[in-house]
Amino acid sequence: MNNNKVEQTTEALNPARRKLMMAGATTFGAAAVATFGAAQQADAAPAKSTTPQARQGAKAMQTITTKDGTEIFYKDWGSGRPVVFSHGWPLNSDAWDAQMLFLAQRGFRVIAHDRRGHGRSGQPAQGNDMNTYADDLAAVIEALDLKGATLVGHSTGGGEVARYIGRHGTKRVAKAVLIGAVPPTMAKSAAYPNGLPLEVFDGIRKGVADNRSQFYQELAVPFFGFNRPGAKVAQGTIDAFWAQGMTGGILGQYACIKEFSEVDYTEDLKKIDVPTLILHGEDDQIVPIGNSAQLSAKIVPNAKLKVYPGASHGMCVVNADQVNADLLAFLQG
């Protein structure tokens, strides 16, 4: 293992989290990446792209078109050093509202896209796999000619960031941030025998297929830790989670479940050769910290792990002030 700098802001992690996860199998699963059919190995390069005029307010909608003809919606605000965000499952780029507003107001250029099959991007039957997701991210970065970017990924988006670096390197990347991220892998395997059994993810598939609207409403509760004693439930936050989920297409979202659960990002993590900040909630009921951040921090060279005591998977919303402060400090460091 590498000699990583690990900062834990809590004395001990709750060993009962695994039992909570197993008991709530059908509420697990807020990260995204997917293999629905054969994985698309070809590089996704933009066939056409709009110019980044949103910073001047010239366009309300911006998209690039990938090699396979899929339109990818993105936001591009501000100027200065670029920070690129990759969202979790089943959400879209609106999940980064708190971080994008905060950093844009402090002189950074912030970019976020909706993953294919999610949000305002196209909903193709093909390409719903992590390799293609990473190539779509590369298409956005290359179309905007971003250099020295900080890549920030939450949940499945953390897998997307890792796979992007694994496939495309860090020539355009200065730093990386993984927040509540799924790497190195979620599902139990020979390499990770303490992972979660596939039955957990089968429960997610069933929830999406049977009634994804109801499933997303219910999933939002543990996602944000609203099922914990003393939690202040914000109905608007639940509604926003549901609305973001329902803007995407069921086929792509269903396919994505396999990618955030069964893909092994270990080799991708080893290729991250830029300073990396890993943030994770100690009480993350969706992506248990023992299966993810604690392992990733040992694999990624030059990684720093910071654990938020009692925080949920939805820490970018519930703990936005702290996340924003940590991001700013890392960007300025």
The catalytic residues are: 155, 284, 313
Among the listed residues 189, 143, 149, 183, the one whose alpha carbon sits nearest the alpha carbon of residue 278: 183
Q: With DSSP H G I counted as helix, E B as strand and the rest as coil, what are the percentages for the chain, rounded to 5?
A: 40, 15, 45
Cβ-Cβ contacts under 8 Å for 241 (sequence gap 6 or more) = 91, 216, 219, 220, 223, 224, 314
As a whole number of angstroms, the distance between CA 246 and CA 253 comes to: 10
Task: Give the amino acid at 275.
Answer: P
Query: What DSSP designation does 213 have?
Result: H
For residue 174, which phi and psi values (nearest 5 degrees)? -100, -35
As a whole number of angstroms, the distance between CA 248 and CA 213 comes to: 11
